[in-house]
């Protein structure tokens, strides 16, 4: 990476992924300082703490507020760690700048609002501070990229992004579904923006942190943001997803950093052959899908001629259950097969509707 947007990460001179750690919320000065000093024994470079905590529903603990900012200044003075807070409006930005906060991040609930992002971008115009943008709560890549583009237009050079997963109505094993493909697409679209993974908010529990962190590093993320508390079970917010500094050290130590590319020519040649096979199979898949859509068009014509509804629920359910089962017999996951055939069916419906309307 050699773009101005990631120069800040290069200047840190790290020989490992960036580690941002600290409590979900700054609760007391003693708590903040205790955690910070323990983090100096880990690979953490940045101390994070929620000062303003937007909650989904009112009545929950929503942060100490500006009172905690001097505590963070003390953290920086005594430990040398950089300090980071979330900002959601103009007032937050002003207070963070007044207290010389190093890194400001825009939270997922704020990223969904272009008006709020623009207000923050205007307030930070020409700043040399590091500004990071969490993905929006909904799986919308354009909103995420749009928020970063607003910062770029405000001549903010030191920009990063944070992948914290996406909300979903359907309950899954994650608090926020990682939707890794969106993160991969982000990296493709904005290759010069450092991308940090937030496994704490993806998992919603401390048990899954290692696996999600390893997955992120396997996908070439630039770092991790992991919520850390000296006594997680007594945390005032998000207790289940926080770990102790000792456990953070264990996680970071056990993670395996993969090489970005093959080095030996023999391995490169072997990989090239496998990629040729993949390309050939993909060509066949595309051709088969194209043929399937052509048949869907013919079915659409038949339905139009006989004035039959496009959606045939019984037929769809039969196909769906049968294909998912067949995929499972071949080692393909149920989740993958369901997504695949729902996408195919949706495209078939779209094509048939177009035929009938024409």
**C-beta separation of 81 from 47 below 8 A:** yes
Per-residue pLDDT reduced to its tens digit, 2-14: 356 678 998 888 8
In sequence order, the β-bridge partners of residue 85 are 104
Per-residue pLDDT reduced to its tens digit, 329-356: 999 999 999 999 999 999 999 999 999 9
**C-beta separation of 265 from 319 below 8 A:** no
Given a cut of 90, is residue 150 above it in pLDDT?
Answer: yes
Given a cut of 80, is residue 1 above it in pLDDT?
Answer: no
Mean residue pLDDT of the chain comes to: 92
pLDDT of residue 56: 67
Distance CA 74, CA 65 (A): 16
Site of tokens 């943008």 = 133
Q: What is the mean pLDDT of residues 185-208?
A: 96
Q: 3-state class of 82 per DSSP?
A: strand
Beta strand ranges found along 210-253 (DSSP E): 223-227
Per-residue pLDDT reduced to its tens digit, 91-124: 999 999 999 999 999 999 999 999 999 999 999 9
Task: Find the helix or strand (DSSP H, E) in which 21 lies.
Answer: strand 18-22
- Write b or e for each residue in 78-115: b if 16 or more Cβ atoms lie within 10 A of its Cβ, otherwise e: ebebbbbbbbbeeebbebbeebebbbbbbbbbbbbeee
Per-residue pLDDT reduced to its tens digit, 234-279: 999 999 999 999 999 999 999 988 776 667 777 777 788 788 788 8
Q: Which fold has domain 265-357?
A: Chorismate Mutase Domain, subunit A (1.20.59)
Given a cut of 60, is residue 168 above it in pLDDT?
Answer: yes
Start-end ranges of CATH 1.20.59.10 in the chain?
265-357
Contacting residues for 290 by C-beta, under 8 A, at least 6 apart: none
Q: 3-state class of 9 per DSSP?
A: helix
CATH of the structural domain 4-254, one choice from 3.20.20.70, 3.90.1150.10, 3.20.20.140, 3.40.50.300: 3.20.20.70
């Amino acid at each position: 990476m050699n773009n101005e947007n990631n120069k800040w990460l290069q200047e840190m001179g790290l020989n490992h992924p960036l580690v941002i750690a600290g409590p979900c919320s700054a609760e007391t000065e003693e708590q903040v300082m205790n955690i910070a000093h323990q983090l100096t024994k880990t690979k953490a470079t940045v101390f994070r703490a929620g000062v303003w905590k937007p909650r989904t529903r009112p009545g929950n603990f929503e942060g100490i507020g500006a009172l905690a900012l001097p505590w963070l200044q003390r953290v920086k003075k005594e430990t040398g760690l950089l300090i980071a807070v979330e900002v959601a409006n103009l007032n937050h930005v002003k207070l963070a700048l007044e207290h010389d906060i190093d890194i400001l991040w825009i939270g997922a609930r704020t990223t969904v609002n272009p008006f709020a992002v623009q207000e923050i971008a205007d307030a930070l115009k020409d700043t040399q501070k590091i500004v990071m943008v969490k993905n929006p709560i909904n799986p919308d890549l354009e909103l995420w990229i749009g928020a970063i583009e607003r910062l770029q237009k405000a001549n903010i050079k030191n920009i990063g992004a944070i992948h914290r997963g996406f909300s979903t109505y359907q309950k899954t094993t994650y608090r926020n579904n990682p939707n890794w493909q969106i993160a991969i697409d982000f990296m493709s679209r904005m290759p010069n923006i450092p991308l940090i993974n937030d496994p704490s908010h993806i998992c919603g529990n401390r048990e899954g942190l290692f696996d999600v962190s390893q997955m992120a590093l396997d996908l070439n993320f630039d770092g991790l943001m992991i919520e850390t508390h000296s006594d997680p079970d007594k945390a005032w917010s998000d207790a289940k997803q926080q770990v102790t500094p000792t456990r953070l050290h264990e996680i970071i130590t056990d993670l395996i950093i993969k090489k970005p590319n093959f080095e030996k020519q023999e391995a490169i040649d072997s990989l090239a052959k496998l990629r040729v096979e993949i390309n050939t199979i993909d060509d066949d898949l595309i051709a088969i899908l194209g043929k399937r859509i052509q048949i869907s068009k013919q079915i659409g014509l038949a339905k139009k001629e006989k004035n039959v509804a496009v959606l045939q629920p019984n037929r769809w359910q039969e196909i769906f259950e049968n294909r998912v089962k067949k995929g499972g017999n071949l080692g393909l996951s149920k989740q993958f097969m369901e997504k695949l055939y729902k996408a195919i069916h949706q495209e078939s419906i779209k094509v048939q509707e177009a035929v009938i309307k024409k």
